[in-house]
Amino acid sequence: MDFEFTPDEKRFREDVRAFVRGHLPKDVSEKVVQGKRLEKEDYLRWHRALHQQGWIGHTWPKDFGGTGWNAVQQYIFEEECADAGAPQTMPFGLRMVAPVIMKFGSQAQKDYFLPRILSGEDWWCQGYSEPGSGSDLASLKTRAVRDGDSYVVTGQKIWTTLGHYGDWIFCLVRTDTRTEKRQDGISFLLVDMKTPGITVRPIILMDQGHEVNEVFFDEVRVPAENLVHEEGKGWTVAKYLLGYERMGTGNIAVSKRELARVKAMAGPLLDDPRFRDKLTRVEVELMALEITNMRFLDQLRGGRAPGAEVSLLKIKGTEIQQSLTELMMQTAGPFAQAFRPVDNMDFDHFTARLAARYCNMRKTTIYAGSNEIQRNIIAKAVLGL
């Protein structure tokens, strides 16, 4: 691939930059840059601005209402958004369940759900992990029993990110317990979060933030028409979705912004050869990851779905995110330790939230399949070991 930007691509960058600078709410970008917690409306304000411009589906094909942008245009767009401090568009609808509906959904599901995802009318969350079923997802126990034109769902999901905002949840459920292979008895359901029998309970993290939840299903009736693909074929759907999820976990554009912040804050630490060596190593790894990501994006535009090799992006991208928080903690020194306001210190200052961010980012090597699982996937599916 040629990594030099063409004149057309440079003009595209200027167009994107002008739009982002002119339409991104200033108070939202300040929250992002300063590491403050975002509310639902913060995400939706930016979502609506992009939707009005016709850019919210920047990874979607034109046939489904997307931009049809190529890999370079997607990359430029995401880089400019991150550089300006734009919040990330919520991936659960746009980048995860939408590709699944495009690939496996019925025409009625495509006609109903995809426009509502684009408009932001529906906020989606993910129902995969359960207590005791995380990396070993095939051991899930949430049951869905067919009863006439409905499935009756009973069970529990956990670590449901922003599920307290959710309008809909896509769930892996067990519809057959008699199969020898556990994956063969799993199905993929779309569930309205307003359905009677659903309870959402918060899980408060060590930074005191409410980001994740437990979701309980007590004989929840789900129309059978909300089954995606075939009954018992949910594992095929789940693997397809996870490929798209892992494509998005690298967060390369955000990492580039945070790398620039580390450099700006480092000051005299740049004279320390050990710190400089760590910083240089992360920068080189980020450059390599960026090029690898561009190759995968180029394959997607050619019609190929993400394969097992996207686990490389997940592993290295999440490790880089953690390394950047470690370096940032080092640059801030004692000020990075504060979780609460202290004397003579403004808690709105960015460094006052570094410890909380550091702790929060420990999750990145676990979600979307732990990095240990990703290495197993690469060994078996890519290297053939």
Do 183 and 254 lie in one domain? The reply is: no
Residue where a domain stops, chosen among 89, 113, 131: 89
**In this predicted structure, what is the pLDDT of residue 206?**
77
Task: Identify whether residues 227 and 259 lie together within a single domain.
Answer: no
Provide the β-strand partners of residue 150: 147, 223
pLDDT at 6: 86
245 is catalytic: yes
Q: Which stretch of DSSP H or E encloses residue 152?
A: strand 150-158
CATH number of the domain that residue 144 is part of: 2.40.110.10
CB-CB contact of 314 with 366 (8 Å)? no
pLDDT given for residue 333 in this prediction: 80
- Cα–Cα distance, 325 to 2 (Å, whole number): 32
Dihedral angle sign, alpha carbons of residues 276, 282, 286, 287: positive
- 153, with CB counted inside 10 A (0-12, 13-18, 19+), is buried
Phi, psi of 9, rounded to the nearest 5 degrees:
-70, -35
Q: For tokens 């399949």, name the residue.
A: 369
Same domain, 22 and 78: yes
CA distance 223 to 221: 7
Do 381 and 308 meet the contact criterion of CB atoms below 8 Å apart? yes
Q: Are residues 221 and 286 in the same domain?
A: no
HEC sequence for 222-278: EEHHHEECCCCCHHHHHHHHHHHHHHCCCCHHHHHHHHHHHHHHHHHHHHCHHHHHH
Catalytic residue among 78, 80, 245, 258: 245
What stretches of 105-247 show up as alpha helix (H) in DSSP?
Answer: 107-119, 234-247
242 in a domain, yes or no? no
Evaluated on CA atoms 364, 32, 352, 277, the torsion sign reads positive
For every one of its 385 residues, what pLDDT tens digit does the chain have, with 9 covering 90 and above? 555 778 999 999 999 999 999 999 999 999 998 878 899 999 999 999 999 999 999 999 999 999 999 878 988 999 899 999 999 999 999 999 999 999 999 999 999 999 999 999 999 999 999 998 887 888 999 999 999 999 999 999 999 999 999 999 999 999 998 888 888 999 999 999 999 999 999 999 877 789 999 999 999 999 999 999 999 999 999 988 877 666 666 788 889 989 998 998 898 999 999 999 999 999 999 999 888 877 776 666 566 666 677 788 888 989 999 999 999 988 888 766 654 444 444 444 555 577 778 888 888 888 877 888 888 878 887 787 6
Residue 118 lies in a domain: no
Query: Nearest to residue 73, comparing CAs of 24, 23, 9?
Result: 9
CA 160 to chain centre: 12
On whether residue 240 sits in a domain, the answer given is no
Residues 82, 138: one domain?
A: no
Clarify whether residues 75 and 137 are in a common domain. no
Structurally, how many domains does the chain consist of? 3
Judge if 137 and 61 occupy the same domain.
no
Are 359 and 304 a contacting pair, CB within 8 Å? no
Across 239-256, b (16+ Cβ under 10 Å) vs e yields: ebbbbbbbbbbbbbbbbb
Instruction: Please indicate, yes or no, if residue 243 is contained in any of the structural domains.
Output: no
Look at residues 140, 135, 230 and name the one whose alpha carbon lies nearest to residue 183.
140
| pLDDT value of residue 253 | 86
Phi, psi (degrees; rounded to nearest 5) at 124 = -100, 150
Note whether 267 and 220 are same-domain residues.
no
Task: Please report whether residue 99 resides in a domain.
Answer: no
**How distant is the alpha carbon of residue 265 from its chain centre?**
27
Q: How far apart are alpha carbons 319 and 327 in whole angstroms?
A: 12
CATH number at residue 340: 1.20.140.10
| Cα separation values, 89 from 16, 42, 44, 153, Å | 16, 10, 9, 29
Same domain, 162 and 222: yes
CB-based contact 33:83 (threshold 8 Å):
no
Q: Which domain holds residue 34?
A: 7-89
If asked whether residues 257 and 377 sit together in one domain, one would say yes
Q: How far apart are CA 40 and CA 251, in angstroms?
A: 20
Statement to judge: residues 364 and 260 lie in one domain: yes
Report pTM. 0.84
Name the one residue in this structure whose structure tokens are 């997307």. 66
Tokens linked to 226: 């909300």
Q: 305 Cβ partners below 8 Å, 6+ apart?
A: 103, 240, 243
First to last CA, the chain: 29
Considering 70, 89, 108, which residue would you say is the last residue of a domain?
Answer: 89
The pLDDT score that the predictor gives to residue 213 is 97
Task: Give the HSE-up count for residue 134: Cα atoms under 13 Å, Cβ half-sphere.
Answer: 15
Q: Identify the CA nearest to 215 among candidates 152, 145, 155, 139.
A: 155
Does 274 fall in a domain? yes
Residues 272 and 354 in one domain: yes
